[in-house]
Amino acid sequence: MTRHIRHAAAFCALLLLALLLNALRVQVVRSAAYDGNPANRRESIARYGQPRGDILVGGAPVTGSRDTGEQLRYERTYLDGPLYAPVTGFASQEYGTTFLEHAEDDLLSGLDPMLAPLPLWNDVTRGRPPGGMVVTTLDRRAQQAAYAALDGRKGAVAAVEPATGRVLALVSSPSYDPALLSGNDPGAEAAWRRLNGDPDRPMLNRAVSQTYPPGSTFKVVTAAAALDAGVVTDLDAPTDSPVPYRLPGTTTRLTNSGDGCADAPVREAFEWSCNTVFAKLGVRVGLARMSRTAQAFGFNDPDARIPFPVATSTFDTSLDQAQLALSSIGQYNTRATPLQMAMVSAAVANGGQVREPYLVERTTRRGGATVGTAGSRSARQAMSPSTAVRLRELMEDVVREGTGTRAAIRGARVGAKTGTAQHGIGNAGTPYAWCISWAQGRRDIEPSVAVAVVVEDGSANRGEITGGGMAAPIARAVMAAVLAP
């Protein structure tokens, strides 16, 4: 019997061994898969178990957290939700995160390993440091001015600091309050459905996620390419430009909205936005150089991030001559985000140099200690400095006596280029009003702001949708807000 008791004991030992090995399997070997299972609520509970870090504009938070006492304890709040929605995005317990809330999620939710006092500290203590803070580059007054000037019309504003690429304003209209989506209650679900079903698409970030045909504002790029390539040497010499201009290889005739464009010098053609002159100029520059210049300004860059991704602005690189002519005046396949056009304006203002735009100045711990800074961003030369000087002249002329007079600010140097972009099949859509501009205060040594404005107002009288009429005053308001002491 003793032997058999030993056998039975050995059997029990086997059972014990099986339990131990299986515990090892569940708790260690398969642990990552189980922890990462989307149906496992632990990650959510930990994530919402502490207040989310805040996003700061001008030194003050524009976000907050509310203790709900529920299982997912803290909910995101926004102090001025619709105003900053294109920057913050939303942080929803149900629908995830977008924009800065998404791009800086690890930091805001305390997951970023940089927040830990020591490497691997959190893995040992199983703790989670408080969420960090994101300090943005936004200028509160510029943001407010842009939002107020758009006044609910469909459109967007992007403003950057030319010398650095700091994003000063990023506004999209109509907007929405991201706080509506924070929770996981039926109210959030209803808001989600309503916002997604809204034909005005309030959750679309028109400043960075939407591309528009840039229209005449693209003539800045064409002019830069022509000047750099030596196709144009004298801004005041007459160009050999017929009106109407027959697109090469086709019978299509291109005309202008105004008179006096036949053989107009580049200075006048820029001031009065002559399509015929710039279409022909683009063809003379050639596809290769046009593409190269457009790409130097930031077109065709699929990886643009500020730090959330920006929709790719496009300049088609396989075009025939007729298509190139249209592309050179910002039509055909050419499309740009408002932020991209702000970069174009900024390049002119910054001596031809394009600074990568960025929205996050630095990230800090909850207490304020810096975790990361934007550092110096790469710069590209989009045009030679001398070309930039001449383009600045051209843009200033537009404000002084051309289509952009409504962008003028007393006592400041202001340059602008307006545009009215056709779109839709047979150009049947309501045109988009554009204005890109830059401004230099009286005491500043260099321009301190570059702005791009687009207004796509379907309800407006078609005749009134011109860059100079609708978009320039908005650009002016934003620039004035930045220049104001």
Partner 1 sequence: MTSAGAGAATAFAAAGAPSPAVSLPRRRGIELALIVVAVLLSVYGYCAVGVARHGTLPPGAAGYGAGLGVLALVAHLAVRLRAPYADPLPLPIGVLLNGIGLVLIYRLDLETPGDRAAPTQLVWSTLGITLFILVVAALRDHRVLQRYAYVSVVAALALLTLPILFPAVNGARIWIRIAGFSIQPGEFAKVLLAVFFAAYLAANRTALAYAGRRFWFVQLPTGRVLGPIVAIWLLSVGVLVLERDLGTSLLFFGLFVVMLYVATGRTGWIAVGLLLASLGAVAVGRLEPHVHGRIEDWLHPFASIDAGLGPNQLAQSLFAFSAGGVLGTGLGLGHSVLIGFAAKSDFILATAGEELGLAGLSALFLLYGLLVERGYRAGLALRDPFGRLLAVGLASIVALQVFVIAGGVTGLIPLTGMAMPFLAQGGSSVVTNWAIVALLIRVSDSARRQYDGSTAP
Catalytic residues: 216
Backbone angles phi, psi at 152, to 5 degrees: 85, -10
Q: Decide if 476 contacts 441 (C-beta within 8 A).
A: no
Name the minimum Å distance from CB 9 to partner 1: 4
**The token pair that represents 397 in the structure block:** 């002329």
Q: Please say which residue, 2 or 378, places its beta carbon nearer to partner 1.
A: 2
Q: Decide if 95 contacts 354 (C-beta within 8 A).
A: no
Buried b or exposed e, range 315-332, using 16+ CB within 10 angstroms: bbbebeebbbbbbbbbbb
Q: Look at strands 245-246 and 74-78 and give their pairing.
A: unpaired
Tell me the window of 8-16, 195-203, 268-276, 323-331 that interacts with partner 1 (CB under 8 A).
8-16
Does residue 120 interact with partner 1 by CB under 8 A? Answer: no
Residue indicated by tokens 């205060």: 441
Q: Is 420 helix (H, G, I), strand (E, B) or coil?
A: strand
* Cα distance between residue 280 and residue 287, in whole Å: 12
3-state secondary structure 335-402: EECHHHHHHHHHHHHCCCEEECCECEEEEECCCCCEEEECCCCCEEECCCHHHHHHHHHHHHHHHHHC
Q: Provide the mask over 264-303, with x wherever binding to partner 1 is found by CB under 8 A and - wherever it is not.
A: ----------------------------------------
Name the minimum Å distance from CB 36 to partner 1: 10
Name the minimum Å distance from CB 299 to partner 1: 43
Does residue 31 interact with partner 1 by CB under 8 A? Answer: yes
Q: Please say which residue, 1 or 60, places its beta carbon nearer to partner 1.
A: 1
Q: Please say which residue, 40 or 370, places its beta carbon nearer to partner 1.
A: 40
Does residue 11 interact with partner 1 by CB under 8 A? Answer: yes
Does residue 121 interact with partner 1 by CB under 8 A? Answer: no
Does residue 6 interact with partner 1 by CB under 8 A? Answer: yes
Tell me the window of 11-19, 194-202, 375-383, 437-445 that interacts with partner 1 (CB under 8 A).
11-19
Does residue 23 interact with partner 1 by CB under 8 A? Answer: yes
Name the minimum Å distance from CB 46 to partner 1: 9
Does residue 39 interact with partner 1 by CB under 8 A? Answer: yes
Backbone angles phi, psi at 5, to 5 degrees: -65, -40
Does residue 2 interact with partner 1 by CB under 8 A? Answer: yes
Q: Please say which residue, 6 or 442, places its beta carbon nearer to partner 1.
A: 6
Does residue 15 interact with partner 1 by CB under 8 A? Answer: yes
Which one among 41, 193, 377, 462 touches partner 1, defined by CB under 8 A? 41
Does residue 28 interact with partner 1 by CB under 8 A? Answer: yes
CA torsion angle for 221, 227, 229, 231 (degrees, to 10)? 110
Name the minimum Å distance from CB 118 to partner 1: 17
Which one among 30, 194, 442, 462 touches partner 1, defined by CB under 8 A? 30
Does residue 114 interact with partner 1 by CB under 8 A? Answer: no
Name the minimum Å distance from CB 186 to partner 1: 18
Which one among 60, 67, 117, 126 touches partner 1, defined by CB under 8 A? 126
Backbone angles phi, psi at 85, to 5 degrees: -55, -40
Q: Please say which residue, 19 or 389, places its beta carbon nearer to partner 1.
A: 19
* Cα distance between residue 418 and residue 174, in whole Å: 22
Q: Which amino acid, one-letter code, is at 223? A: A
Which one among 1, 60, 118, 428 touches partner 1, defined by CB under 8 A? 1
Q: Look at strands 91-92 and 96-97 and give their pairing.
A: antiparallel
Angle separating helix axes 287-297 and 338-349, nearest 10 degrees: 90
Does residue 253 interact with partner 1 by CB under 8 A? Answer: no
* Cα distance between residue 345 and residue 434, in whole Å: 12
Tell me the window of 13-21, 51-59, 310-318, 398-406 that interacts with partner 1 (CB under 8 A).
13-21
Does residue 194 interact with partner 1 by CB under 8 A? Answer: no
Q: Please say which residue, 5 or 425, places its beta carbon nearer to partner 1.
A: 5
Burial of 426 from C-beta contacts in 10 A (0-12 / 13-18 / 19+): exposed
Q: Please say which residue, 10 or 428, places its beta carbon nearer to partner 1.
A: 10
Does residue 22 interact with partner 1 by CB under 8 A? Answer: yes
Alpha carbon 243 to its chain centroid, in Å, reads 37
- Following DSSP, what letter does each residue of 170-220 receive, concatenated? EEEES---GGGGSS-SHHHHHHHHHHHH-TT-TTS-TTTT--B--GGGGHH
Alpha carbon 147 to its chain centroid, in Å, reads 15
Tell me the window of 19-27, 209-217, 346-354, 415-423 that interacts with partner 1 (CB under 8 A).
19-27
Does residue 389 interact with partner 1 by CB under 8 A? Answer: no
Phi-psi label, residue 426: left if phi above 0, alpha if psi -120 to 50, beta otherwise: left
Does residue 40 interact with partner 1 by CB under 8 A? Answer: yes
Does residue 67 interact with partner 1 by CB under 8 A? Answer: no
Name the minimum Å distance from CB 66 to partner 1: 21
Q: Which residues bind partner 1 (CB under 8 A)?
A: 1-9, 11-13, 15-16, 18-20, 22-24, 26-28, 30-31, 34-35, 37-42, 45, 124, 126
